[in-house]
Structure 1
Amino acid sequence: MSKLFKKTLIIIIILFGIIATLTSALSGWNIYNGLSKEFTSKGLSIATSISDSSVEILLNRDLSTLQSVIDQYLNIEGVSYVLVANNVGHVVSHTFVPSVPEEIIEKNTANNDSFLKEKHTIKHLSIKGKGEFIDISVPILGGVAGNVQVGMDKSIIKNEIVSIIIKQQVLMFLIFLLTIGLSYLFINRISKPLNALTEHVKTITTKDLTVQNINESLIKTLSDKSDDEIGDLARSFMNMEVELVDYINQLTETTAEKERIESELKIAHDIQMGFLPQKFPPFPERNEFEIFADLIPAKHVGGDFYDFFFLQDDDFTFRGNNKLFFVIGDVSGKGVPASLFMALTKTLLKAKASSDISPSQMLTAVNRELCIDNENCMFVTIFCGVLDIETGEIEYSNGGHNPPYIVSKSRGVKMLGGQTGTALGVHDEAKFVTYKEKIVADEGLYLFTDGVTEAMDVDYNLYSEQRLEDFLSALDGCCETELLVESSKAEVVKFTTGAEQSDDITIMAIKYLSQRQAV
């Protein structure tokens, strides 16, 4: 039995139940009213006939004749009793055995005066032990000689109603069975192809959807032979399967292409990371300072970078290796374009850096190179400086970047001063300024990109410079550079838990230990 037929069967049962109930109630009411009127009319005719024929008998007080007259009416269908009462309500003749019921006596006593006023009365009586009756009273000589009462048995009416309703219900039941049979045949004609379509759809999960193969299936037969909605549905399934096969093939190709791109981006990421110093400590033979840096790209590749190396003269000789160049930068945008521009910038910085020119001169030279053929209008913010590891003096210049912080136990946390300057690649005539600062032993620099301060949590709140300053202040001086970078990075990651990383995060820390600790 199909699910559709079960639902239809429930609906048919409910409808037939409602129809059968309403039909029985309406039929019973109509039959009751019709038979009641018929019995009332018959009883009224009998009572009137007796009233007309019993005048002389009552006047002559011939009660035996009167009794024989009323007895003959008991043979008429529906007549249950007949009685005659005098003008004071006393029963003078009746057909009850053995005596007149109290209900009749009480009725006659209560209605005695009405016989002089009314032509006839009709009452519905219930007599204990005998049943229910329609009681018709007709006055004799306007009530002067008494009245005649005829009782019509209502049980005949009820039995007739029950008989007719039973016949109706039998007929309704036969119609119900016929309806169910026809419904089963009709619904089975619909549900059979639907079930076939359902089974076909179930097989799709186990089919090889990379190949179209539906020509020999049942769905193809339904599509070709059915011109109704079932055929339309079958054709829709066929089209869906064709489109699904095409989609799977496209998805397979797209997935393969995506995997290829992912692989290439992974290689690009490894190449980009190869541009940056990854070995720490980078100068294990030097203990005048510590340096550590880390970069977390927002995508496989990004535009942030950092670098550090000892400067050399124009004649490619080192001045005792005592001047450490360091730089941190942030290229506009993300992804492959930013990473390529980053590689170009880093290469130019390495080429232009020299102990014979100031940081501002380095930025000026690099800026001019970046502005050449910069059709995509890309730019980069850079902070670079030179640390003299003998004196602790720092020369630095800022090209539109976030100023770093001096972290000191004695001086607290202090942002390096000076103008922020203009990002490189924007204007080839941009001017840059060199500033100086001196740090002493156990003081350090904390350099970062805006991916730190502009990191957002799930509610789009920024990490902010204030949070960063509070974090650095809580350190109570410059700790080991690796610990400083890792703990700072952990704070940002904790703050942004649940939110997608929106920008590259780069942090670099330098701690000055002074020449006195050199070996």
Structure 2
Amino acid sequence: MHAAAALIRATIAELDSTQAALAEALIASQDRLLAVKALAQVNVRRVGSDGFLDVLLDQALALTGASQILLFDAGAVLASRGVVTDVDGHIEIVREVIAASPRGALVTTAGDRAIVGNLDPDDGGRRHIAFFRPAARPFSTTDLPLVEAISAALGVRLALAQLHRRELEQAVVEREHQLASALAQSAITVDPPRSPAVDLFARTVPASLTGGDFFVFGRADGVLWFAVGDVAGKGLPAAMLMTRAVAACRVAFLGHPSPSVPDVFARIEDELYAHLDDAGLFITLVVGAVEESSRTVSMVNAGHSPVVLVRDGYAAPVRSSVPPLGVLRGRVPEVCSVTLGVSDRLVVGTDGLVEQAGPDSELFGYDRFDELCRSSSRLTPAGIGAEVFATLADFASGTAASDDATLVVVASAEATR
């Protein structure tokens, strides 16, 4: 009887001990789960701060009971937390594991003293993390789920931090583009000069922050100069070349008071050719001079379109006679000369007008543009400009412009009085 009672008491004590151990394990497990949750919920406002990564790794160090954590990016140590005597040895262990399995999941190595895992196996496998413990307290299979959860949480938070950095970098780039756009547009946002002989309209609408279209005017000794150009390409390189082209045109206009359009064109080409050749770009360009006493317009067209002369109810294109600037140097251009009558209109645009797409991806096209110039030819240059941009906006129906759009209209002043 006494033996049976003793056995029962021993069994109850063992059950109590087992229950206590289970309760302790459950509490520890719950604590770890809460700690992992806390790791995953590190204040997002700290993303990108100097101490953000240290906070994450310190929490992971405490959760896993590791003596050291190493974070690798493309095989190089990005961060290290904890204290250990053989850092170089640990680094070599991790690099051997990465070399053997660069995109592998958690790998236990070094006599179970280390666990190495890939933080982004679906994104090229650049970042790895390694947890080290002392030899007297190696990792066990029960530690793997916890390390896996911590690694996943770290991967998410690091991805958020990387995204935050990219957004900041993009914001800086966009700000620089805005400043560059303002500077570039300031080079051309000058009202056309007033002339007793001709009436002018000019407007450019960049498709993005920085554009390559431009127009330039100059006036000296009874000669009104104008140029309309389009730098191939977009963004900052096109904008920089555009501002240089504007400056080259203005210098050439001031240096040639007599209406020698080929000489002015040659001077502009000499100034820009080397820069265009280095950049691998070109500029389509129309250069013209209006003799105010006779209202005679002389033009050189270097690969530019659309250029339309509306006369007697017909819209006739002014063809190019030389390639764009930057393609072939030193070609002698033909000069197109016309004397503007009361009903004549010279319309010079850029390809962003004719290449505007509609909702069905159909382009506005040259035929529509020519007809629009013809049908609006009774209007003043400002009226033609308003009609062209309004018609294009209706045609686009909200479709974004793929290129800059520029328009210059020249007419006899008699027609607008």
Whether TM-score is above 0.5 comes out as: yes
Q: Residues 87-166 of structure 1: matches in 2 within 5 Å?
A: none
Q: What is the deviation of 1:307?
A: 1.1
Q: What is the deviation of 1:502?
A: 1.7
Are 1:391 and 1:514, in contact at CA under 8 Å, matched by a contact in 2?
A: no
Question: For residues 197 and 303 of structure 1, what CA distance do their matches in structure 2 show?
Answer: 56
Shift in alpha-carbon separation, 1:358–1:249, aligned structure 2, 3 A: same
Question: For residues 516 and 499 of structure 1, what CA distance do their matches in structure 2 show?
Answer: 34
- Between 1 and 2, higher relative CO (CA 8 Å, sep ≥ 6) is seen in 2
Q: TM-score, normalised by structure 1?
A: 0.53
Q: Deviation per CA, 1:9-40: give whole Å up to 9, x if none.
A: xxxxxxxxxxxxxxxxxxxxxxxxxxxxxxxx
Aligned position for 2:262: 360
Question: For residues 325 and 239 of structure 1, what CA distance do their matches in structure 2 show?
Answer: 68
Tell me the C-alpha RMSD between the 2 structures: 3.5
Q: Residues 164-203 of structure 1: matches in 2 within 5 Å?
A: 196=34, 199-200=37-38, 203=41
Q: Residues 281-296 of structure 1: matches in 2 within 5 Å?
A: 282-283=193-194, 286-296=195-205
Is residue 339 of structure 2 the alignment partner of residue 427 of structure 1? no
Shift in alpha-carbon separation, 1:199–1:451, aligned structure 2, 3 A: same
Aligned position for 1:481: 381
Question: For residues 339 and 152 of structure 2, what CA distance do their matches in structure 1 show?
Answer: 74
3-state SS in 2 of match to 1:507: strand
Is residue 279 of structure 2 the alignment partner of residue 376 of structure 1? yes
Is residue 229 of structure 2 the alignment partner of residue 387 of structure 1? no
Is residue 277 of structure 2 the alignment partner of residue 405 of structure 1? no
Shift in alpha-carbon separation, 1:194–1:473, aligned structure 2, 3 A: farther
Is residue 245 of structure 2 the alignment partner of residue 345 of structure 1? yes
Q: What is the deviation of 1:492?
A: 2.1
Of 173, 178, 181 in structure 2, the residue corresponding to residue 266 of structure 1 is 178
Q: TM-score, normalised by structure 2?
A: 0.65
Aligned position for 1:162: none
Question: For residues 292 and 481 of structure 1, what CA distance do their matches in structure 2 show?
Answer: 5
Aligned position for 1:303: 212
Are 1:290 and 1:512, in contact at CA under 8 Å, matched by a contact in 2?
A: yes
Question: For residues 357 and 243 of structure 2, what CA distance do their matches in structure 1 show?
Answer: 27
Is residue 315 of structure 2 the alignment partner of residue 472 of structure 1? no
Are 1:402 and 1:420, in contact at CA under 8 Å, matched by a contact in 2?
A: no
Aligned position for 2:55: 213
Q: Residues 39-118 of structure 1: matches in 2 within 5 Å?
A: none
Question: For residues 344 and 39 of structure 2, what CA distance do their matches in structure 1 show?
Answer: 72
Q: Residues 488-499 of structure 1: matches in 2 within 5 Å?
A: 488-499=388-399
Aligned position for 1:451: 352
3-state SS in 2 of match to 1:356: coil
Is residue 167 of structure 2 the alignment partner of residue 255 of structure 1? yes
3-state SS in 1 of match to 2:41: helix
Are 2:35 and 2:63, in contact at CA under 8 Å, matched by a contact in 1?
A: no
3-state SS in 1 of match to 2:55: coil
Larger Rg: 1
Q: Residues 226-245 of structure 1: matches in 2 within 5 Å?
A: 227-228=140-141, 231-245=143-157
| Amino acid paired to 2:263 | Q
Shift in alpha-carbon separation, 1:459–1:227, aligned structure 2, 3 A: farther
Shift in alpha-carbon separation, 1:202–1:367, aligned structure 2, 3 A: closer
| Amino acid paired to 1:294 | R
Q: Deviation per CA, 1:281-308: give whole Å up to 9, x if none.
A: 642xx45432121112222112111011
| Amino acid paired to 2:213 | D
Shift in alpha-carbon separation, 1:217–1:274, aligned structure 2, 3 A: closer
Q: Deviation per CA, 1:131-176: give whole Å up to 9, x if none.
A: xxxxxxxxxxxxxxxxxxxxxxxxxxxxxxxxxxxxxxxxxxxxxx
Are 1:307 and 1:327, in contact at CA under 8 Å, matched by a contact in 2?
A: yes
Structure number having the greater helix percentage: 1
Question: For residues 145 and 171 of structure 2, what CA distance do their matches in structure 1 show?
Answer: 37
3-state SS in 1 of match to 2:207: coil
Question: For residues 198 and 458 of structure 1, what CA distance do their matches in structure 2 show?
Answer: 50
Question: For residues 208 and 341 of structure 1, what CA distance do their matches in structure 2 show?
Answer: 41
3-state SS in 1 of match to 2:278: coil
5+ residue gaps, structure 2, are 1-21, 67-132
| Amino acid paired to 2:198 | F
Identity in percent: 20
Q: Deviation per CA, 1:346-387: give whole Å up to 9, x if none.
A: 222222232325222322232233233622332111112112
Q: What is the deviation of 1:500?
A: 3.5
Are 2:36 and 2:153, in contact at CA under 8 Å, matched by a contact in 1?
A: no
| Amino acid paired to 2:207 | A
Shift in alpha-carbon separation, 1:375–1:233, aligned structure 2, 3 A: same
Q: What is the deviation of 1:400?
A: 0.7
Query: Runs of 4+ in structure 1 displaced over 6 angstroms?
Result: 191-195, 222-226
5+ residue gaps, structure 1, are 1-184, 313-317
Shift in alpha-carbon separation, 1:235–1:382, aligned structure 2, 3 A: same
Q: What is the deviation of 1:267?
A: 1.7
Are 2:229 and 2:283, in contact at CA under 8 Å, matched by a contact in 1?
A: yes
Are 1:277 and 1:307, in contact at CA under 8 Å, matched by a contact in 2?
A: no
Are 1:443 and 1:511, in contact at CA under 8 Å, matched by a contact in 2?
A: yes
Shift in alpha-carbon separation, 1:227–1:458, aligned structure 2, 3 A: farther
| Amino acid paired to 1:213 | V
Q: What is the deviation of 1:401?
A: 0.5
Count of residue pairs brought into register by the alignment: 316
Of 219, 223, 232 in structure 2, the residue corresponding to residue 332 of structure 1 is 232
Are 2:355 and 2:364, in contact at CA under 8 Å, matched by a contact in 1?
A: yes
Question: For residues 265 and 456 of structure 1, what CA distance do their matches in structure 2 show?
Answer: 25
Q: Which moved more, 1:462-471 or 1:218-227?
A: 218-227
Shift in alpha-carbon separation, 1:199–1:342, aligned structure 2, 3 A: closer
Question: For residues 416 and 63 of structure 2, what CA distance do their matches in structure 1 show?
Answer: 90
Shift in alpha-carbon separation, 1:516–1:468, aligned structure 2, 3 A: closer
Are 1:383 and 1:403, in contact at CA under 8 Å, matched by a contact in 2?
A: no
Question: For residues 45 and 214 of structure 2, what CA distance do their matches in structure 1 show?
Answer: 51
